[in-house]
Amino acid sequence: MKPDTMETRHAAKPASAKAQSSSALARYRSYTRFKVGVIVALAVLVVLVSLVSIVSGTANLGFGDVVAALFGQGNSYNQIVVWNLRMPRILTAIVGGIALAIAGCAFQSVLRNPLASASTLGISQGASFGASIAIIVLGYGSAAAAYEGTASTNPYLTVICAFIGAMASTLIILALARFRDITPESIVLAGVAISALFTGATALIQYFAEDTQVAAVVFWTFGDLGRVSYRELTIMSAITLVAFVFFMANRWNFNAMESGEGTAHGLGVNVKRVRLANMLMGSLAAASVIAFCGTINFIGLVAPHIMRRFIGSDYRFLMPASALAGAVLLLLSDLIARMVVPSIVLPISAITSFVGAPVFLYLLMRGMRR
């Protein structure tokens, strides 16, 4: 039997510490693999839902016809349906879902508020006000345009006005934050107030408008992924890509801010500058989608919350996971909008609200029980 000498006790301590370190490293790698697995599963789910969406529709194309059209085979009718009607819609859902989700994820981080999103910060309401200016005040709305699905005789001017209105909301909030030094929590309250202001202004403009112009504004606010062509999709994709790269470059700043502003300052993070830059970039991404597609609710609010339940608040993984979850949610919402009533496309904003609100309430109640 070995004597319990000083040498054996000193030799046991490093061995025990090394074993604990190896165990902690193994657990970290396992948890990291789980997060990566969730992201990969979401990417596969995006592809699967896209395939279901592209073979679904009133044109009654079989799976073989769709595959042939994707590779440039088959008759011209099938190729027009797949490439000119269904594909732009699916790609818009993917890009739009990503943009709204990453914007909401960034807003919730820099404002330290789980309710921060494009809707609660007044971005959607500002876009609606801008669209109302183009359609009613500038006179580009008509019943014929609404019937054709454009809501305006000059859709590009409507997009520009909606984009300006969306960004105006963010600039007002940031100006208040800079000159009055309001807290992040108060920024969301300011967003709610600005939302009410834009909503009231929009209602006032509609009150003095003609019926056809009011109908055109209402049609625009319904939201429609089908009004986006490849040209607009290219603009949306470029802005979304820049925003995603920017947010991923700030992932360590987001992680630091999760522990509080004091901790972030101690780690060398310029909190005010990070908040300003990410608010602007998030607003740009969300505004680009809303300006082209109309109002889309709940995607930017729900997608980050769902992913936090699965993989936590590490923004190295939360940001890409939220992006893919947003794409899945918007793809599913668009599929429901097209398939519930045959030959009628329901408003995408209504579907996202019906899908997102119950999910958010479930997550909220589950958190309260915990």
Q: Tell me the two tokens of residue 155.
A: 């859709």
Longest dimension (CA), the chain: 100
Is the backbone of residue 84 left (phi > 0), alpha (psi -120 to 50) or beta? alpha
CB 153 within 8 A of CB 224: no
CA distances 58 to 81, 267, 344, Å, are: 10, 56, 9
Q: What is the pLDDT of residue 9?
A: 53
Nearest CA to 315 out of 260, 255, 267 is that of 255
What is the DSSP-derived secondary structure letter of residue 72? T
**How many other CB atoms are found less than 10 A from the CB of residue 255?**
18
For the chain, counts of helices (H) and of strands (E): 16, 0
- CA dist 180 to 126, 151, 174, 175, Å? 22, 39, 10, 8
Instruction: Locate all alpha helices (DSSP H) within 297-347, ordered by sequence.
Output: 299-311, 315-339
Q: Alpha-carbon distance 169 to 126, whole Å?
A: 6
Question: Is the pTM above the cut of 0.75?
Answer: yes
Q: What is the pLDDT of residues 22-34, one digit of tens each?
A: 777 777 788 889 9
pLDDT of residue 147: 45
Distance CA 112, CA 279 (A): 12
**Residue 304 burial (CB count, 10 A):** 30
- Among residues 180, 87, 171, the alpha carbon closest in space to that of 130 is found at 171
Burial 127-139 (b: 16+ CB within 10 A, else e): bbbbbbbbbbeee
| Tens of pLDDT, residue by residue, the chain (370 residues) | 445 555 555 555 566 666 677 777 777 788 889 999 999 999 999 999 999 999 988 887 888 888 888 888 888 888 899 999 999 999 999 999 999 999 999 999 998 888 888 988 999 999 999 999 998 988 765 544 544 545 555 678 888 999 999 999 989 988 887 777 677 778 888 888 999 999 999 999 999 888 888 888 888 888 889 889 999 999 999 999 999 999 999 999 999 998 888 888 888 888 889 999 999 999 999 999 999 999 998 899 999 999 998 898 899 999 999 999 999 999 999 999 998 887 788 899 999 988 878 877 876 777 545 5
CA 270 to chain centroid: 25
> For 300-317, what is each residue's pLDDT tens digit?
999 999 999 889 889 999
How many angstroms separate the CA atoms of 91 and 98, rounded?
A: 11
